[in-house]
A and B are shown apart, each in its own frame.
Chain A
Amino acid sequence: MSTGQARSAAQEPPPTVLQRLLDEVITPGLCVACGTCLGLCPHLVFFDGQVAAPDACDLEQGRCYDLCPQVAGAGQGPREHEGVLGPVRAIHWARATAGELDGRVQYGGVVSALAALALEEGLVGEAVLTAAGARGAPAGVRVSDREGVLAAAGSIYAAAGTLRELNQALAEAADHSLLVVGLPCQARGAAKMAGHPDYPAAGRRLGMVIGLFCTMNLSARGLRAVLAEAGVEPPVLRADFPPPPAGVFQVTTAAGLSEIPLEKVYDAVLPGCKTCGDLTAETADLSVGAAEGEAGLNTVIVRTARGQELLERAVAAGVLELRRPAAASLEHLKEAAAGKRARAAAGEVDHG
C-alpha cells in the first residue's frame, strides 16, 4: 500500500518525515549513528553516540529521511553488477612514507596521508574526520590542516555521528571543497547527500569521500560497557577488528594493547549493522582498509576518477608508496565482502 492509500484509508494526516525516520530506522534500532540526518535541523540530536528526536516535527518531506543510508530502498542492496567489491578502477597496497604517522595510524597510515595531502595541496578546504569526543565516544571533527588530521588519526570503532559536521560545514556560506572520511554507511550517506536535488551545496562542495572497510560497528555505550567488563581503562587510542581468524577485538590505550574476545563484543554491536552488506564502502571515491597479513600496509580501492587523481598526486608527492596486492589477499577480501552481503541478506552479523 502506498503512503497515499494508507492516508485516505485511515483519514489521518500523513506521518511527518521525522516520524517516518523514527518508525523505520530509529525506533526499530536500525540507526547506526552515521550522522547523515544530523545538523540539518535541531530535531535530531546526537549525544553519547545516540541519535534521538525529542520533539515532533511537522514537515511531510525532509532530507533527514531522504538521506538516511539505513532507510530501505534504492541503492541500499548489493550492486551485483559491479562485483562484490563495488566499482573498482584499481586495487593497491599502500603505506604512508611520513614517519610522523608511525604508531598513531591504522595499518599503513594511508587515510591520514591522503587527507593531509588533499588539504595541503588545496584540493579541499576542510576535512571531516572522526576523533575521540566526550565520554570516550567518538565524534566528528572538522580540520583544515595537517596537524588537525594527525590529531584525529586512528580509528575508535563506535558510532560517531560524523556526518553532522559535514552537514554543518555545508550549511555555512562558503565555497571550499570538503573531504570526508567515513564508514560504508557514511559513504552511502555522503553519496545520497551529493545526489539530493534539495541539497545543492553537497553536490557542489563534497569533493572527496574516503571510505573505510567495516565489518561492524559498536554503540558508544556498548563499547564503554565492553571495556569496563574487560577492565580496559579508557580513553581508547586505537581499535580494530583484525581479519579472521584472529577472533578478537584489539584495543590500544595508554596501558598498551588489549585483546577482547569477539563474543564479548557482540552485545555492543549496533543492530543496524546487520542490515549493511557493504564491507568496502562501495560508494566512496577511495576505499581503504587492512592489507591481510601486512601489518604496515593498507589495501586501497580506487573507485572514481577523482579518487584516482588524489592517489596519483600522493604517489607523485612521495607521500604514499604503492605495491601490488597479493592475489590471495584480494580473494580473501572478496570472500569477506561476499560474506557480509550474504549475512546482511540473511539479517545476521559476523560472529567470526
Chain B
Amino acid sequence: MADISGLTPGRTVLMQGNEAIARGALEAGVSFAAAYPGNPSSEILQTLADSAEGAGIYAEWSTNEKVALEAAAAASYCGLRAMASMKQNGVNVAQDFICNLTISGSGPGGLVLVTCDDPGAISSTNEEDARFIAKLADLPLLEPSTPAEALAMMKFAFDLSEDIENLVVVRAISRLSHTRSGVVPGELAVGRPRPAWDPKRVITTIPAVPRHQVMKDKLAEAGGLMAAGPFNSYGGPDNPELLIIASGSSVLYAAEAIDILGVGRRVGLLKLGCTWPLDEKLLRKHLAATERVLFAEEVDPFIEDHVKSLYAQHAPELGIKRFYGKASGHTPAIGELSPGRLAAAVSEVLELGHQAVDPGYLERAVQSAGAMAAPREVGFCPGCPHRASYWAMKQVLAVDGRAGLVSGDIGCYTMGVLSTGFNRVNSVHCMGSGLGISSGLGKLGRFGFDQPVISVVGDSTFFHAALPGIVNARWNQADYLLVVLDNSATAMTGFQPHPGTGQLASGQAGAQVDIEQVCRSLGLDCRVADPYDLAATSDALYDALQQKGLRVLILRRVCALVQGRSGGHPYRMEIDPELCRGDACGCHRFCSRVFKCPGLVFDQALGQAVIDEVTCVGCGVCAQICPAGAIKALAKDQEAAA
C-alpha cells in the first residue's frame, strides 16, 4: 500500500475506501493501530503500517483480532488514540474482549474498532452482519457510505470515543472498502500525549452490574452526540409516498434507484450514518410524514427490525404504516443489495411496472457466458504448494484405505474443498476450528470410530487460533495427524507476514517463532517435508498416518506467488511431444484433467498437453505425475549456463 501520510491537504485524490479509513485515523491522530489480516479489511492496517514512519505512529499485524483490539485498548488506556481493524469474522474472535471492554470502558485515548463486512461472502466463509456487536455490547455504530464519509467518520469516531470513554464501531463493507472515489484529505493531527497509566487507576468490569448502567449511560450520551452530528440526513419531499431508510453503500443504491425510476418527487431517502443507537426522534419525525417505509441495508434487517420496534412503541400517535424490506421479501434476505434490486422493490411498492432487468437478460447472459467463458472455478495458483500437498494427501488416503478424513481450516488451503484441492477436505468453518473438530474426532475411537483424521492448518492460522486446539488434543490425547501447510505467508489476504516469518508489518525483522519448535515444546513428534517432492511427502504422510496420538507433519514450501516475487522458481517446464501420449494416454489427459495446474493445457489441435509458458511458474511438480515422463523440468540456471 502507499504511504498516505504525505498527501496534500485540500487536494482531491482518488482513494480506496480502506485508505480513506486509514487517512481518517491519521488525521484523527491515531498513534497505535493493530489488526489481523482478512478481506476486505486488510488494506487499512497495511496502509497505516506503510505510513507509520511518515506519520510517526505504530502499526502491527497481531496474531489475531482479539489480541489486536486488546493491544489497541492498552494504548487507549495510556492516553493514545488507537484502533483495531478486522473483517466480520474477526469481530467474533474479539467478541469476548469487546463485551467486557464495553463495561470497563476505553481510556482517555479514543478507541475505534473498524469492521469490514463482506455481504455476498465475496472472500469469506460467511456473510455475517457484524453490526450486531454494537447492539450486543451497547456500542455506538457508524456506517459510512463513501470513502470521503469514511474519512470524516473516523475522525468523528475518535472524538466520540473520548467523549464517552468507550469503544466506537465503524462498519464498512466490501463495496466501500474496495471502491475508489475522490477524497479531500485534511490536515494530519499534530502532537500526541506521552502515554502513561496512573498506577492507582484500575480498569475492570467489576462490579459488573453498576458498571453495566454506566455503559448504558455512555450509549445514551453517544446517541445525543451522534444525532447532533452530520451523518444522518434526509432528501426528498416533505411527505413522501415512500420513505427509504438506508445505510452504508445501500444509500447510494437507493439514490440510484430513485434516479433510475424518476421518482425523486415521490420517494424520500433517509440516510443513516449513525445506526446504533438509532436517532429515535429523527425516525419518529420521518415515520410521521409517510405511510410506507422501505429499508435498504446489508445484510441483515438491523435497522428494519429496530425501526419496527420503535414504531410499535409509538404506533398510536404515528398511525398505520406499511413496512417493506427483508421481512416482506422486497429486498433479499441474503447476499448483496444492488441498485437494480432496490429499484425493483421501489417499483413493486409504487406499482410502477418497472423492470430493472429485462426478463430474458439472465438467460441470455448465461448463454453468452457458456459460449465465451471457459468453465472454471476458484483454484490454487500455478505452482501452489497446496496443490502438491493435497495431491499427496489424496494419494495417501486412498492407499491407506480406511476412509480417512481431512479437517480443513481457513486460508488458501480452504479451497481443498474444491476440485483444485481434489475435493479432499471434508469440513471447513472458521479460523482454528478444524483443530477442534479433529480434537473431537480424535476421541471417538472408544466408540468404534476407526477413520484416520488429518487436520490441515496454515502457518498464519496456526498462530491465530490453532494453538488452543492443539494443546487440547495433546492434553486429552486425541488421535489425529496435524499437517501444517506452511507457505510462509498469510497468502489468502495478501501475503502479510506472521510470527513464523518473523517479519513485522513495517517490513523490518521481528522475532521469528518457529512452528516446529512450538510443536516439539508440546512434546509432539514433528516432521518436516517439502510438498514439491511428492514421493517424499507421500512417504512422510503415509508413515505419519499409521502412527497414533497427536503428531505433526509440516509441509513447508513458500507460497508460489511470494517465490515469484523473490527470485522465481528453478525450472522451465517442457513437454516432450515424442513422449506425451495425448489422447492415447491410458490416463486420458491426466495432467490437465486431474492434476489441473493452470500451467498445463491440453492443446486440442496438437492432441497433446502443452505448457502455458505465461502461466507456468516452473515449480517442477507436474514432472512427477506424468506417467510417460513427458513433462520435463529443465533447470533454468543450467540452461542459462549453456
Instruction: Give residues in A with beta carbon < 8 Å to B.
Output: 40-43, 45-48, 50-55, 57-59, 62-64, 134-135, 171
Contacts and interface: CB of A to CB of B under 8 A. Distances in A.
B587 A42 contact: yes
Given A42-B625, A55-B422, A55-B594, A47 B395 contact: yes
6 contacts: A42-B625, A42-B626, A46-B399, A47-B396, A52-B399, A59-B586
Contact of A54 (B394, B543, B586): B394
Given A48-B542, A55-B594, A43 B587 contact: yes
Interface string B576-620: 000000000111101001100000000000000000000000000
Contacts of B401: 50, 52
B398 A41 contact: no
A54 B590 contact: no
A201 B587 CA distance: 18
Nearest to A41: B586
A134 B590 CA distance: 26
Contacts of A50: 399-401
A62 B586 CA distance: 8
Contact of B588 (A46, A51, A54, A57): A57
Contacts of A43: 587, 590, 594
Nearest to A171: B628
B398 A52 contact: yes
Top-8 shortest CB links A-B: A41-B586, A54-B398, A52-B398, A47-B399, A42-B627, A52-B399, A41-B587, A50-B399
Contact of A42 (B397, B398, B538, B590): B590
A134 B587 CA distance: 26
A41 B394 CA distance: 17
Interface centre among B394, B538, B585, B586 (most CB of A within 10 A): B586
B594 A48 contact: no
Nearest to B585: A41
B395 A54 contact: yes
Nearest to A221: B546
Nearest to A167: B586
Contacts of B585: 41
A41 B590 contact: yes
B259 interface: no
Contacts of A53: 398
Contacts of B399: 45-48, 50-52
Q: Is the interface of B mostly helix, strand, loop or mixed?
A: helix
A50 to B, nearest CB: 4
Interface of B: 394-401, 422, 538-539, 542-543, 585-588, 590, 593-594, 625-628
A25 to B, nearest CB: 14
A58 B594 CA distance: 11
A334 to B, nearest CB: 37
Contacts of B590: 41-43
B395 A59 contact: no
Contacts of B398: 45, 52-54
Nearest to A26: B401
Contacts of A40: 586
A134 B399 CA distance: 15
Nearest to A46: B399
Nearest to B394: A54
A180 to B, nearest CB: 20
Contacts of A46: 399
B588 A58 contact: yes
Contact of A45 (B395, B539, B594, B626): B395
Contacts of B396: 47
Given A48-B542, A58-B593, 8 more contacts: A41-B590, A41-B627, A43-B590, A51-B399, A52-B399, A54-B422, A57-B587, A58-B588
Contacts of A135: 543
Nearest to A54: B398
Contacts of B586: 40-41, 59, 62-64
Interface centre among A45, A47, A64 (most CB of B within 10 A): A47
A135 B394 CA distance: 20
A257 to B, nearest CB: 28
B539 A134 contact: yes
B357 to A, nearest CB: 36
A165 to B, nearest CB: 14
A331 B400 CA distance: 42
A171 B626 CA distance: 13
Nearest to B579: A173
A36 B443 CA distance: 40
A62 B543 CA distance: 32
Contacts of B628: 171
Contacts of A59: 586, 588
Nearest to A58: B588
B239 to A, nearest CB: 63
A138 to B, nearest CB: 16
Contacts of B542: 47-48
A54 to B, nearest CB: 4
Contacts of B588: 41, 57-59
Interface centre among A42, A50, A57 (most CB of B within 10 A): A42
Contacts of B593: 58
A63 B626 CA distance: 18
B400 to A, nearest CB: 8
A57 B585 CA distance: 12
A25 B34 CA distance: 58
Nearest to B594: A55
A55 B543 CA distance: 22
Nearest to B396: A47
A63 B586 CA distance: 9
Interface centre among A40, A46, A55, A64 (most CB of B within 10 A): A55
Contacts of A54: 394-395, 397-398, 422
Nearest to A198: B586
Nearest to B593: A58
Contacts of A45: 395, 398-399
A46 B626 CA distance: 16
A50 B394 CA distance: 14
A42 B624 CA distance: 11
A53 B626 CA distance: 16
A46 B538 CA distance: 12
A50 B396 CA distance: 10
A62 B394 CA distance: 23
Nearest to B625: A42
A274 B296 CA distance: 70
B622 to A, nearest CB: 11
Nearest to A27: B401
A151 B353 CA distance: 87
A47 B538 contact: yes
Contacts of A47: 395-396, 399, 538, 542
Contacts of A62: 586
A51 B400 CA distance: 9
A14 to B, nearest CB: 15
A41 B589 CA distance: 10
A59 B589 CA distance: 11
Nearest to A39: B627
A141 B627 CA distance: 18
A352 B398 CA distance: 33
Nearest to B397: A54
Contacts of A63: 586
Contacts of A134: 539
A222 to B, nearest CB: 12
Contacts of B539: 134
Nearest to A16: B588
A171 B630 CA distance: 13
Contacts of A48: 399, 542
A45 B395 CA distance: 8
Nearest to B586: A41
B139 to A, nearest CB: 50
A51 B397 CA distance: 12
B284 to A, nearest CB: 63
A46 B542 CA distance: 12
Contacts of B394: 54-55
A168 to B, nearest CB: 9
A159 to B, nearest CB: 12
